Amino acid sequence: MLRASRSYDQKVFPSKAVARQHFLDARRLRSRAEGLLASAQQVLPDVHRIALYVSRGPEPQTGALIDWLLATDREVLLPILYADNDLGWGIAPGAADLVPGRLGLSEPPTDLGSDAIATADLVICPAVAVTHDGVRLGRGGGSYDRALARVRPDTPVWAAVYDTEIVDALPNDPHDQPVDAALTPNRLIPLRGSRDD
């Protein structure tokens, strides 16, 4: 089963919902969630403001990465989920100062608005899976597709996934926003078909 999860093609996933459920089920079976700090430390470019997110459950963990970024005098933008599922952004004050948000999310206390993501020098976004061509599969609410459409064209966008969630093909729609690389707990993988190609 592990081998198959690395080489699925479009025929195996007839819809985003089927693909999403497959990868979420596989995450729930993981023995532990792994962090992104070690791999990010090795590849992070010299940037000042990073848009990131607070991980939950079996997602690749971002807590230690956020703490390290703040400790190295970088600014971290974290999302604020609006009632219409769009995302606003606020500067992370530190993990202890986050406030409860919608759907159990932890959010910064001050909202800079939805366009604040355009001020980021690097965006690391959540994903359920990505393809080698830069197609990102999210959780289905459309929040990140809207947010990523506001990112400056020269700003790299990395999707945080596990190595087994990088596949050959996924169902996608015209409004889906591409990503430039996959950041896993082990490495950064440039994706073909990304905006830099």
Q: Whose CA is closest to 86, among 115, 128, 52?
A: 115
Residue 106 clears pLDDT 90, i.e. is over it = no
* Alpha carbon distance 78, 51 (integer Å): 6
Q: Which helix (H) or strand (E) holds 28?
A: helix 16-28
The answer to whether residue 195 is domain-embedded is no
The answer to whether residue 197 is domain-embedded is no
The answer to whether residue 27 is domain-embedded is yes
Grade residue 111 by pLDDT with cuts at 50, 70 and 90: very high
The answer to whether residue 196 is domain-embedded is no
Residue 145 clears pLDDT 60, i.e. is over it = yes
φ, ψ of residue 127 in degrees (nearest 5): -155, 155
pLDDT digits (tens, 9 = 90+) for 37-56: 999 999 999 999 999 999 99
Domain range for 96 is 2-190
Q: Are strands 129-131 and 166-167 parallel, antiparallel or unpaired?
A: parallel
Q: Whose CA is closest to 52, among 99, 1, 91?
A: 91
Residue 133 clears pLDDT 60, i.e. is over it = yes
Grade residue 4 by pLDDT with cuts at 50, 70 and 90: very low
The answer to whether residue 54 is domain-embedded is yes
* Angle subtended at Cα 74 by Cα 50 and Cα 98, rounded to the nearest 5 degrees: 75
Q: What is the mean pLDDT of residues 134-157?
A: 95
The answer to whether residue 107 is domain-embedded is yes
Tally the domains of the chain: 1
The answer to whether residue 59 is domain-embedded is yes
Residue 101 clears pLDDT 50, i.e. is over it = yes
The answer to whether residue 93 is domain-embedded is yes
* Angle subtended at Cα 61 by Cα 28 and Cα 191, rounded to the nearest 5 degrees: 90
* Alpha carbon distance 93, 111 (integer Å): 12
User: Any idea what the CATH number is for the domain that residue 162 is in?
Assistant: 3.40.50.10420
